[in-house]
Chains A and B, each alone.
Chain A
Amino acid sequence: MIKIRGLKKNYGDLEVLKGIDLDVADQEVVVIIGPSGSGKSTLLRCINYLEVPTGGTIEVDGIELSGEANINSVRKEIGMVFQRFNLFPHMTVLENLELAPMKVRGVSKAEAEQIAMELLHKVGLEDKAQAYPEQLSGGQQQRVAIARALAMKPKALLFDEPTSALDPEMIKEVLDVMKQLAREGMTMVVVTHEMGFAREVGDRVVFVDGGKILENTTPEEFFTNPKEERAKVFLSKIL
């Protein structure tokens, strides 16, 4: 599904990613964890070219990314959920979900609305269809954001610390939606600090530090028997 080879990213002299190789299989849930500044968010954002890599190749669903030329065709196949939701504040929840299917996929208004209402039902917010984002709680906004990404019927979803901007009591409702998606077989790459989620839902845990992948293993193996010293230190701090 996603194939990354030798991925590098520099900001000026600062080397954020120092050659990353990563494969994500169809229907797999890969959780990326690591200390802040380790490059994990940058790695995620390179997958849909929100950050343009300095070197290496990224292949999504058999298409190699090569910049503006084919980026939109790849982006419509991989949804993204942001830390700060990034809903469109001037549109209702329903309009947030309908925009991209109508403008990118050319879906009719009626069909877009039907898809949108089904997805809002799925995330438990069909009664908020006519609300504006600012009228919703953080957890509700993030669930709408997930539904918005799903409205494009993507083949994979990227999550960039989806619960980091939420109040503690709202984290669960978002994680529950993500767990449900994982059960349904959605391919997911998740950058998160939620170790419980990584352990329970992840098929694989990727530990990133200093712009490199240090561990790439099962959650079970990673949490009980980490091999790298830095992974041990990281785990000792957060668990």
Chain B
Amino acid sequence: MDFDWELINNSIPLLLTGAGITVEITALSVFFGFCIGIFVGVARLAKLRLIRYAAAVYVDFIRGTPLLVQIFLVYFALPAVIGSRVDPFLAAIAACSINSGAYVAEIIRAGIQSIDKGQMEAGRSLGLSWGQTMRYIVMPQAFKRIIPPLGNEFIAMLKDSSLVSVIGFEELTRRGQLIIARTYASMEIWAAVAIIYLIMTLTISRLVAYLERRYRTTK
């Protein structure tokens, strides 16, 4: 079987713009997921049982159901409830952010819990409030420790964002599908798509490794 290089060449621009959209979805989802994750992660350690339980229910529900089903829920089920169509881009970002938030929350909870209890006690004994101690003492130390798992979450999100192709959102995977529908060149296009994903994930993992090194030396 011949490998059609020319087809790949012609498809690259279209695939790359798709990859740009993949990066956009991923970056936005990880950003919002991170914002959600900080609040939920801290809420998992709250004194009030109600807050703790609410956070745990969210994390359990999201981690216990497939992202694909969550995307369907946001895109197909939610409109039935609110009575209007949901924009695919918003649906994609919402589903991925809410999904990522649960995983980030667990990373942040574990990061906070890995910091010695004496740090919180020392902060409180100096008259700092719980919030101040978290902000100035516990969180900065926890963040250094959670850089590697956060990097993993970023990479996982980038790959999982391919799932939003099912609601017709034209990111990298969907672009590949569309080209194949026209040309039947499955092998060429899927290989090209895989390599573009690989380049993106390798770039992120290098970046994370760099951050990790930098924070280790400067403390």
Contacts and interface: CB of A to CB of B under 8 A. Distances in A.
A104 B126 contact: yes
A237 interface: no
A103 B132 contact: yes
B126 A79 contact: yes
B128 interface: yes
Interface size class of B (residues with CB under 8 A): 10 to 19
A228 B121 CA distance: 35
Interface string B133-147: 000110011001000
Contacts of A8: none
Interface residues of A, number: 24
Given A79-B126, A80-B122, A82-B125, 5 more contacts: A99-B136, A99-B137, A103-B128, A103-B136, A104-B132
Interface SS majority for chain B = helix
A87 B126 CA distance: 12
B118 A86 contact: yes
B114 to A, nearest CB: 13
A79 B122 contact: no
A75 B122 contact: no
Contacts of B124: 50, 75
Interface of B: 116, 118-119, 121-129, 132, 136-137, 140-141, 144, 219
Contact of B219 (A48, A79, A87, A90): A90
Contacts of A79: 125-126
Nearest to B132: A103
A86 B116 contact: yes
11 contacts: A50-B124, A75-B127, A84-B116, A86-B116, A88-B119, A90-B141, A90-B219, A99-B136, A100-B123, A100-B128, A103-B136
Interface of A: 48, 50, 72-73, 75-76, 79-80, 82, 84, 86-90, 99-100, 103-104, 132, 134, 148-149, 152
Q: Ordered nearest first, which 8 A-B pairs have the shortest CB separation?
A: A76-B127, A86-B122, A100-B126, A80-B125, A86-B118, A104-B127, A75-B127, A72-B127
A82 B122 contact: yes
Interface centre among B119, B121, B140, B141 (most CB of A within 10 A): B121
A84 B118 CA distance: 8
Contacts of A149: 125-126
B126 A82 contact: no
A90 B145 CA distance: 12
A50 B121 contact: yes
Nearest to A81: B125
A50 to B, nearest CB: 5
Nearest to B215: A90
A99 B128 CA distance: 9
A72 B132 CA distance: 12
